[in-house]
Amino acid sequence: MPSLLEIGRQDRVLWISLNRPEKRNALSAALCRELADTLEKAGQDPSLGAILLTGNGKSFCAGMDLGEIGAASSEELNQVHERLFTVGFRLGVPLVAAVHGAALGGGTGLVANCHIVVADEHATFGLTEIRLGLWPFLVYRAVSAVLGDRRTLELALTGRILGAREAREMGLVHEVAADLESRAAEIAAGVASASPSAIRTGLWFAHETRGRDWREAGEIGRQVREDLFRSADLQEGIRAFLEKRKPKWPSLS
């Protein structure tokens, strides 16, 4: 039986490809569990600078595996879906998506969890659960954090499908690229070249301050900014800038 994920690495970028092409990478319980495990483990790896997520075959991810409805424990599914569809809010490593074909339902939820999203011109997105008599409960929060409550509600109520350019206009997609894989790889490599301590601190700050009031978020920002001001990475970054060379981040040694 082939692995549900194909995993590779290039320098400081971990490549993860969903590998159920015959099912359009539909999210079975086993795939959700393996993907959540892999992402959480990667998020704890200090040698990684970015994760690039894509899918094998014609689609990025067609959503929930409908063949498993009722077959797996409801509580088990709830737990693994909660882990997977909140992972982007917990990762200390940037998650970049390269999206082609369909990214529907849970596929849109995965996209919303990614920090940077690149799509090809034929990619499609949507919260299509309502067409089946369902509601996108577990992906709703992640999509709403990206698109806002009103837009997310409209998509959930109508189940309509977005093209790549409309998804970009809404903010779900950052860039539409003709050469999807190479462009996404370029972005991931660029992000991975940044200071690991600055990236982890910045992601923590973004996650920690979400939903907090202005003053409280500002106080958190002041504290972590002072920590970064004292970091060896910042000193190396300043030296490298003045000496016109690439930095050698101490936090990687």
Catalytic status, residue 34:
no
Residue 253 near residue 233, CB atoms below 8 Å: no
How far is the first Cα of the chain from the last one, in angstroms, to the nearest whole number?
Answer: 39
Residue 109 near residue 58, CB atoms below 8 Å: no
Residues, the chain, total? 253
d(CA 57, CA 92): 29
Indicate if the alpha-carbon torsion angle 111, 91, 252, 10 is positive or negative: negative
SS3 134: coil
Residue 104 near residue 163, CB atoms below 8 Å: no
d(CA 63, CA 24): 9
Write the single-letter amino acid at 249: W
Indicate if the alpha-carbon torsion angle 160, 163, 164, 170 is positive or negative: negative
Residue 108 near residue 125, CB atoms below 8 Å: yes
Residue 116 near residue 190, CB atoms below 8 Å: no
Q: Which of 129, 166, 169, 219 is catalytic?
A: 129
Q: Which residues are catalytic?
A: 129
